[in-house]
Amino acid sequence: MANTPAKAAGEPAALGHGGRILPAVTVDAYNEDLRDEDGFVGDRASGRAFRAIIEDWRDQLRRRGDDPFGDTPTGEVSKARLDCYLEGADPIAAGLVHTAVEEFANELATVVRRFLRLPAWKDTERIVIGGGLSASHIGQLAMGRAVVILTGEGIAIDLTTIGNHPDKAGLVGAVQLAPAWVLDGHDAILAADIGGSNLRVGVIELKIKKGELSRAGVWKHLHWRHRDDQPSRDGAIDRMAEMAQELVEGAAGHKLKLAPFFGIGCPGLIDEHGVIRQGGQNLPGNWEGDGFNLARELAQRLPHIHGHEPLFVIHNDAVVQGLSEVAAMQDVSRWGIFTIGTGLGNARFTNRAPDEQATS
């Protein structure tokens, strides 16, 4: 890998990985894998589940020769196209999508209900919904219908769409992993969002105003759909480091002063040493367990920033997406996030008092 300084094997320079006490919030729980007789409860409100619902109804319509989607496989019908069907002139197509949304809303309400029974999720006031489905009209309609269902059962909970674009929220949230002293005097940080299908690495402009980070946003990011290339584990990490190197050089060319910090979101339960304990099964290769330390592997590959090896923090990807909403959650105390993707990512937060944040 060109122009990336190598490090000797050893412990990486890092703040605590997978931490529960962060500068702005306490992470009460994340990566909950609730199960029932049918498997993971969260899978009932996943993007895969929504597609399965559509396919089931298409199959029933095919029996009478009325499948409005024709020969297009369900997995290839885009969310934008489903939005168009919902509002279009074809009553069968609109009815199919509407029925799928209603069924999915009931599943989402069930999942919310189950999570709110967990001790760590007790008294949650709001849940932010992230992931690609949340950016579509059908996703927002399902959220609204779920709120109505839960309200009818006497459950008071807000469901809101994530504020940043779902593809960028997992990068923007990384600024909340860094203590203020790391960011002081700098314009931007590096961030990465490692997913089961995609890898994104970006430069996040801090735009700090009076000590708060509500204006932080993506200056530039690189995207790689690794699922299409099916790389090895080492190949994926090498590519991530190369993307980071390209962005470090680009930021220098635009006179952006990068902090020596890299925030990384990754699926699964992350321990303090940067080991993925569980939940990394969709990543390329075997990333779980004591035989592989993601933090150590990254420490040997990440580019230097202004001549210094960066401090970095690895945390769960749903946690990092949730952290992008910190500024918007100041009117509540206890809140969570669901990220609707291949599965259902989840995290629950309690806001820290301003005097607690000042000591971080």
pLDDT in tens, 115-165: 999 999 999 999 999 987 888 899 999 999 999 999 999 999 999 999 998
The model scores a pTM over 0.85: yes
Which residues lie closer than 8 Å to 146 by C-beta, 6 or more apart?
A: 105, 106, 108, 109, 112, 159
- Higher confidence at residue 233 or residue 214? 233
Give the SS3 label for residue 64: coil
- Higher confidence at residue 39 or residue 348? 348
On average, the pLDDT of the chain sits at 89
Q: Does 131 reside within a domain?
A: no
> Mind listing the pLDDT tens digit for each residue in 94-104?
999 999 999 99
Q: Which one, of 325, 331, 344, 350, lies nearest residue 115 by Cα?
A: 344
Q: Sort strands 311-316 and 258-266 into parallel, antiparallel or unpaired.
A: parallel
Q: Which residue range forms the structural domain that includes residue 308?
A: 165-324
CATH code, domain with 205: 3.30.420.40
Task: Provide the residue type at 127 as one letter.
Answer: I
Identify the DSSP state of 14.
Answer: B
Tokens of 219: 């200056």
The beta strand positions in the chain, using DSSP E, are 25-30, 35-36, 39-40, 126-130, 158-161, 188-194, 199-205, 217-224, 258-266, 269-270, 276-278, 311-316, 334-340, 344-351
- Cα separations in angstroms, 196 against 114, 130, 151, 193: 25, 15, 34, 10
Q: Does 174 reside within a domain?
A: yes
250: number of Cβ within 10 Å: 14
Give the pLDDT of residue 78.
92
> Mind listing the pLDDT tens digit for each residue in 68-77?
999 999 999 9
Q: Does 145 reside within a domain?
A: no
Chain length of the chain: 360
Whether 7 has a pLDDT exceeding 60, the answer reads: no
Give the pLDDT of residue 238.
95
Q: Does 312 reside within a domain?
A: yes
Whether 333 has a pLDDT exceeding 60, the answer reads: yes
Tokens of 143: 């959220």
Q: Does 311 reside within a domain?
A: yes
Q: Does 274 reside within a domain?
A: yes
Long-range contacts from 270-278, C-beta under 8 angstroms, 24+ separation: 270/17, 270/18, 270/314, 270/315, 270/316, 271/17, 271/18, 272/16, 272/17, 272/18, 272/19, 273/17, 274/12, 274/14, 274/17, 274/18, 274/298, 274/314, 278/31, 278/33
Q: Checking phi first, is residue 88 left (phi over 0); if not, alpha (psi -120 to 50) or beta?
A: beta
> Mind listing the pLDDT tens digit for each residue in 154-213?
999 999 999 998 889 999 999 999 988 888 889 999 999 998 889 999 999 997 665 567
Give the pLDDT of residue 248.
95
Is 183:261 a contact under the CB 8 Å cutoff?
A: yes
Is 126:112 a contact under the CB 8 Å cutoff?
A: no
Domain count, the chain: 1
First to last CA, the chain: 36
Residues 72, 73, 78, 79: what is their CA dihedral angle, to the nearest 10 degrees?
Answer: 120
Q: Which residue has the tokens 């029925």?
A: 99
Q: Does 210 reside within a domain?
A: yes
Q: Does 76 reside within a domain?
A: no
pLDDT band at residue 26 using 50, 70 and 90 as cut-offs: very high
